[in-house]
Amino acid sequence: MQRHPPNSVSLVLLIIILGSLFTFLCSEVQHMQPQPAPKLALRRLLSEQPELLQRTQSKLSNRVATKTNAWGVALDEQRGFVWVAEPGCEMSPVCQTAFPTTIGKYALSDGSLIANYQEPEGIGPSAYSGPLFIQVSPDGDVWFTEPTNDAIAEFDPDDGRFQQWRTSPGSAPYDLAFDANGNLWFTEITGNNIGFFNTRTHRMTETPLPIADSRPYGITLDHQGRIWFAENRSDEGKIGTFTPTLSGQVSLKEYVITTNAEARPHLITADMQNNIWVSEGFSGNVARFSPTTGKVTQYSVALPCRREYNCTHISGIAADGQNRIWFTDSLNATVGYLIPATSKVHARLIHDASAHPHDGLTVQSNGTLWFTEQYGEQGFGPALLMWPEGTMR
């Protein structure tokens, strides 16, 4: 019998079939291999609110009740949230007892409440206590201090998990700030230290201040990456500074900014020209310090007192993009701003003299002001307030 060679069409079909089978088998093998976990940044973009999908920000001011007395406030402009620390007591400088309280999540669009997150219950080393100051990391996690049980804590908004790491006993960590490398720096008001915490390795370092009982309170990062902090002692008003390191080992340098015993430097911020500004408590002043010249300039910003005694305490402080210096006066229930070029003060008395706008104060990049009232107006309770640009002229 004569054999006929296969024609070209049959060969082509055979090649196509074999190629398809090979591709299918390779695909199946690939799917069987373990796949790498998605990066954190990608997870955040999927689970949180992207900027393009956020609601347009309201042009109306708003006051929203918080679950308990509100203190620190932090903005997450990338994802459209406002976070509030609610310690549940009057810190002096800590609560009388340690008990878990609340982190509040609000909408950047209008200040409306999204959710309250309750700290876990715990006993002994695992116990949580009221959060005081609060910051948001670049990846969207929320970090806060717990002075009453000497801890730094983290809240993950994606899975609702809280974690905490203990500082030295009796240290009372207070204000906190991220450096350019994503590490945390914080003050320890009774421990008399500057603390460092690597958020990836969880390594902690504490650097003592040169003079005992300096009571470091506020802390901030300037536009050149240096860290500044305020010392709350009563006999001599100082601020300090250092260059952050990856190890947490730093050399501190201090400057006297006032000899007024009532000043007691409180919170601290940097303006667009990298001047350092400090709220000066019972003196009714804010102070400007020039790192270039070392010159200190004092500005009186307090309005006439509504009470006969103990009537002023300049507490919160923040600089906006127009170089206005915003402040709160907790005892005189005032919110306002200073124009340094003219020394002119624009301020507004809150209706209820007991509202107590205290340390929670920050300015959004578009000029919207956010602040907390620790006690709130009569019949309303503690609150988060949103004042869009132009609310106060």
- Give me the residue spans of the domains in the chain: 56-166+350-393
What is the side-by-side order of every strand in the sheet holding 227-231?
216-221, 227-231, 237-242, 253-258
What mean pLDDT comes out for the span 243-253? Answer: 97
Residues 6+ apart with CB under 8 A from 183: 196, 197, 198, 199, 244, 246, 248
- Token pair belonging to 149: 């049980």
Q: Is the pLDDT of residue 32 over 70?
A: no
Going by the DSSP 8-state scheme, the letter that residue 300 receives in this structure is: E
In angstroms, the Cα distances linking 212 to 45, 70, 150, 300 are 46, 30, 19, 29
Confidence of residue 19 (pLDDT cuts 50, 70, 90): low
What mean pLDDT comes out for the span 62-81? Answer: 96
By three-state DSSP, how is residue 173 classified? Answer: strand
Within 10 angstroms of residue 10's Cβ, the number of other Cβ atoms is 10
What mean pLDDT comes out for the span 334-347? Answer: 97
Whole-number pLDDT of residue 49: 55
Percent of the chain surpassing pLDDT 90: 77
Whole-number pLDDT of residue 26: 46
Confidence of residue 30 (pLDDT cuts 50, 70, 90): very low
Confidence of residue 105 (pLDDT cuts 50, 70, 90): very high
Whole-number pLDDT of residue 4: 46
Q: Is the pLDDT of residue 181 over 60?
A: yes
Q: Is the pLDDT of residue 17 over 70?
A: no
Could you confirm whether domain 56-166+350-393 is CATH 3.40.50.720?
Answer: no
Confidence of residue 81 (pLDDT cuts 50, 70, 90): very high
Confidence of residue 126 (pLDDT cuts 50, 70, 90): confident
Q: Pick from 354, 356, 353: which is nearest to 374 by CA?
A: 356
Q: How far apart are CA 239 and CA 189, in angstroms?
A: 14
Instruction: Report which of residues 37 and 117 the model is more confident about.
Output: 117
Whole-number pLDDT of residue 54: 64
Among 148-152, 192-196, 374-378, the minimum mean pLDDT is found in 374-378
Q: Kindly report, residue by residue over 162-173, the tens digit of the pLDDT.
A: 999 999 999 999
Whole-number pLDDT of residue 24: 45
Confidence of residue 42 (pLDDT cuts 50, 70, 90): very low
Average pLDDT, the chain: 88
Which pTM was predicted?
0.86
Among 29-38, 296-305, 336-345, the minimum mean pLDDT is found in 29-38
Within 10 angstroms of residue 320's Cβ, the number of other Cβ atoms is 20
Q: Is the pLDDT of residue 259 over 60?
A: yes
Confidence of residue 122 (pLDDT cuts 50, 70, 90): confident
Instruction: Report which of residues 209 and 309 the model is more confident about.
Output: 209
Q: Is the pLDDT of residue 363 over 60?
A: yes
DSSP 231-290: E--SSSEEEEEE---SSS----EEEEEE--TTT----EEE-TT--EEEE-BTT-EEEEE-
